[in-house]
Chains A and B, each alone.
Chain A
């Protein structure tokens, strides 16, 4: 069974640009969550999608948005990039069931210059 796949693995963008990150969950998983990891703030929850609907949202500005497609693949978009958006963005997928674990992808390393 293939794991969670995130593309691209590395990305360099300029301030003011926008970026789209992609996440393909484990087959059969309907929940996809996104996290931002930085040295200063640690791991912070961005949002979660379940069956194409945003089910949960963290405390991030509206520049951060996402969506989920009918095949459960998810995209995350960041508009008007700032230097502080430089981070490792992790995606996690979960199956159904209360105690189900989150399986993480290897992340996308975004650098904003």
Chain B
């Protein structure tokens, strides 16, 4: 079974600064997807960024970028120019490639991000 580990239960960052959230995973598969989801106090899970394992280029979405190290099975999220609205719980998730395996996501335990003015 694939496991996802987020070793930082809580992180804090000042507004306008940069913060990196860590995620490692364990899998024997060569192709898969990795995601970062954000869950604000409203509890609505929102996709932040997605990475396909077969792509070497790191994904980027505006202020959000990832550092994907396939050999090390590491998938960290970097948030630049942090904003108060970035405060939330962040979850790293793994998903096997489509087919009979379906769309089931394996989530890490999450990192609570606090943004201070």
Contacts from A to B (Cβ < 8 Å): 31, 33, 35, 42-45, 48, 50, 55-56, 58, 88, 90, 92, 94, 97-104, 106-107
> Contact at B43–A58, with CB atoms within 8 Å?
no
By secondary structure, the B interface counts as: loop
Which B residues contact A (CB, under 8 angstroms)?
A: 33, 35, 37, 42-47, 50, 52, 91, 97-98, 100-110
Contacts of B52 in A (CB 8 A): 99
**Complex CA–CA separation, A58 to B101 (angstroms):** 12
A48 to B106 Cα, complex, angstroms: 13
Give the contacting residue for A98; candidates B44, B46, B97, B104; CB below 8 A. Answer: B97
| A74 vs B64: C-alpha distance when bound (angstroms) | 33
Q: Is the CB of A45 within 8 A of B50?
A: no
Partner of B109, one of A42, A90, A102, A107: A42
Closest to B46 in A: A104
Interface of A is mostly: strand
- For B107, what are the chain A residues with a Cβ–Cβ distance below 8 Å? 35, 42-44
CB distance from B99 to the nearest CB of A (A): 8
* Distance between Cα atoms of A56 and B2 in the complex (Å): 15
- Chosen A-B contacts, 20 in total, with CB atoms closer than 8 Å, are A31-B102, A35-B105, A42-B107, A42-B110, A43-B91, A43-B110, A45-B104, A45-B105, A45-B106, A48-B102, A48-B104, A50-B102, A56-B102, A94-B103, A97-B98, A99-B33, A101-B50, A102-B47, A104-B37, A106-B44
Identify the closest chain B residue to A100 (Cβ): B103
Most buried by B among A31, A88, A97, A101: A101
CB nearest to A97 among chain B residues: B98
Give A33 to B110 CA distance when docked, in angstroms: 19
On whether A101 and B108 interact (CB within 8 A), knowing A33-B103, A55-B100, A106-B42, the answer reads no
Closest to A59 in B: B1
